[in-house]
Chain A
Amino acid sequence: MSDPGVPPSPARRTVPFRGGGFAPQSRSWISWATLVVVLGAWQGAVSGGLVSPIFLPSPWTILLALKSLIVSGELWRHLAASLSRIGLGWALGTMAGIVVGVMMGLFTSFRSGGIPMVSALYPIPKIALLPLFILWFGIGETPKIVTIGFGVFFATVIATFTGVDGVPRSLIRMGQSFGMPMFGIVRKILLPGALPGILAGFRISASTALLLVVSAEMVGAQLGIGSFVLSAGNLMQTDQLLAGVAVLSVLGLMIGLLLSRLEKWLLRWR
């Protein structure tokens, strides 16, 4: 039923709109356009003589450097060396980190002992430890993998045990109320419940691994994208340096994309 008979009045006006906003969206064409504009401005600044190519090589020369890296096949050898280090270091650090993180999420003794250890060791710059790492692990693949694994480990421990903490206690009580054994509760309730947190930690630990590959390859690496970047820097080959850095960022982007996929698939229940 409507209310008829309300006479139109000259003083009647629309209620002013006050909602809207606060809902940013991601539009891929804007992302691409931003990239194009930034690269264009950069190229323009160098070509136009505003910036000396000694200080900032143009995107075009970087592209050329990249092309020669690809054509000579050098890029793949560097990538293969780095990816195997990143892969191995990340996998080992992640596994150890999840185990320790779960222990810290479960047991008072691990938590009390672990938290100060993690807080004390996490911020240590791994480069400061390199001379010791060389004494302990030599100069082969081990110290490189350990360096990466070390950084990944701490990031994962923190993500895991906050993830475990975030699992609602009511779910654990539920498991106990059905007489589930301890291990079953960890495997079927705690770990899946902590998974969103652990996966968020993967993002951080994957970027950490990429960051650390440069430090890791400071020690006696002949091959690897990190050692390539380092030596290009030492040799003042700035176009090569930035080509290497570009490869690292593309790698970071791809790993991020991969993790997004993984997240979407593993957390499809959300």
Chain B
Amino acid sequence: MELSAEGIGHSFGALEVLDGIDFRVAAGEILAVIGPSGCGKSTLLSILGGLLQPDKGRAALDGAPPADSLNPLTFVFQDFALLPWRTVRGNVELALEHHRLSGPERRERVEAALAAIGLAEFKDVYPKQLSGGMRQRVGIARALVVRPAILLMDEPLSALDAQTRELLMEDFLDLWLDAKVSAVYVTHNLTEALRLADRILVLSRRPGRIKEMVRVPIPQRERTSLAAQAELAALSDTLWQSIKREAQVADREMTDV
């Protein structure tokens, strides 16, 4: 299944947030969206996921989702959005409860998703007992359990410390590449984008417009090699130059709000 943004524009009252966003996410592709704080990344993701009605343009789908997909467009949230009164298992199960599944099938799916992301031992634990990294693993398990066609991830790692982020990023990548799920991955972290994405979409500061679309020319599995590191560093540098000024200005804007 393929997801496209067709001329998406949006304003909150007088505040214009997005303008003329056009792109297409191919099947199995990971598209990173980077841009300074407040440029409309989260807004864009909400529009893509059908949680927000855009003022202009639309989000569109091509092709059918895989037969076993219960929720083709699935979010992973920056703040995890876990229900504190449900255990790990209960949180993952929540995504299945309103679907017609037999009891055993549902349980099996939940177990599989928990095992895949390394949560098997934490099934009966409440979120407050977990570290941030573990909580986001629950968020990912909940997203995977519905067999999504396209993941919409809003800075899923930015609430975590650097080491946890590294670990989780690697686990993500394995899961993705196995599952062949495509993703729109919003971040403001260049390293993350360069590690995970097939293409990187750079947004300007508010109102967010497409500033650049860059393809990362190395397959994800090879990006850790020394040769690749050098090439990626160069790419990172060009991208950083492109967004630096914007980031500085955007930073000042935020303090005015």
Whether A177 and B97, one on each chain, are in contact in the complex, defined by CB atoms closer than 8 angstroms, is no
Whether A188 and B97, one on each chain, are in contact in the complex, defined by CB atoms closer than 8 angstroms, is yes
Residues of B within 8 A of A252 (CB): none
A170 at the interface (CB under 8 A from B): yes
Residues of B within 8 A of A269 (CB): 84-86, 126-128
B-facing residues in A125-176 (Cβ within 8 Å): 168, 170-171, 173-176
Whether B49 and A177, one on each chain, are in contact in the complex, defined by CB atoms closer than 8 angstroms, is yes
Q: How many A-B residue pairs have CB under 8 A?
A: 53
> Please, what's the 1-or-0 string for A179-215, where 1 marks a CB less than 8 Å from any CB in chain B?
1110010001100110100000000000000000000
Whether B71 and A179, one on each chain, are in contact in the complex, defined by CB atoms closer than 8 angstroms, is yes
Q: Name the prevailing secondary structure of the B interface residues.
A: loop
A179 to B146, CA, bound (A): 11
Whether B75 and A177, one on each chain, are in contact in the complex, defined by CB atoms closer than 8 angstroms, is yes
Whether B83 and A171, one on each chain, are in contact in the complex, defined by CB atoms closer than 8 angstroms, is yes
Chain A: minimal CB distance from B42 (Å) = 11
Q: Which residue of B lies closest to A180 (CB)?
A: B98
Count contacts on B: residues with CB < 8 A to the other chain. Answer: 24
B79 at the interface (CB under 8 A from A): yes
A261 to B83, CA, bound (A): 22
Whether B81 and A188, one on each chain, are in contact in the complex, defined by CB atoms closer than 8 angstroms, is no
A270 to B83, CA, bound (A): 11
A178 at the interface (CB under 8 A from B): yes
Residues of A within 8 A of B85 (CB): 192-193, 195, 267, 269
Whether A184 and B97, one on each chain, are in contact in the complex, defined by CB atoms closer than 8 angstroms, is yes
Residues of B within 8 A of A188 (CB): 83, 94, 97
Given contacts A171-B83, A192-B85, A269-B85, contact A178 B95 (CB under 8 A): yes
Chain B: minimal CB distance from A178 (Å) = 5
Chain A: minimal CB distance from B92 (Å) = 11
Chain A: minimal CB distance from B249 (Å) = 28
Whether A170 and B71, one on each chain, are in contact in the complex, defined by CB atoms closer than 8 angstroms, is no
B257 at the interface (CB under 8 A from A): no
> Please, what's the 1-or-0 string for A226-270, where 1 marks a CB less than 8 Å from any CB in chain B?
000000000000000000000000000000000000000001011
A-facing residues in B60-95 (Cβ within 8 Å): 70-71, 73-75, 77, 79, 81, 83-86, 94-95
Q: What 3 A-B pairs are tightest by C-beta distance, nearest first?
A: A174-B81, A177-B75, A269-B85
Q: Which residues of A contact B (CB under 8 A)?
A: 168, 170-171, 173-181, 184, 188-189, 192-193, 195, 267, 269-270
In the assembled complex, 22 residue pairs joining A and B whose CB atoms fall closer than 8 Å, in A order, are: A170-B79, A170-B81, A171-B81, A171-B83, A173-B46, A174-B77, A174-B81, A177-B51, A177-B73, A178-B95, A178-B146, A179-B70, A179-B71, A180-B98, A184-B98, A188-B83, A189-B83, A193-B85, A195-B85, A269-B86, A269-B126, A269-B127
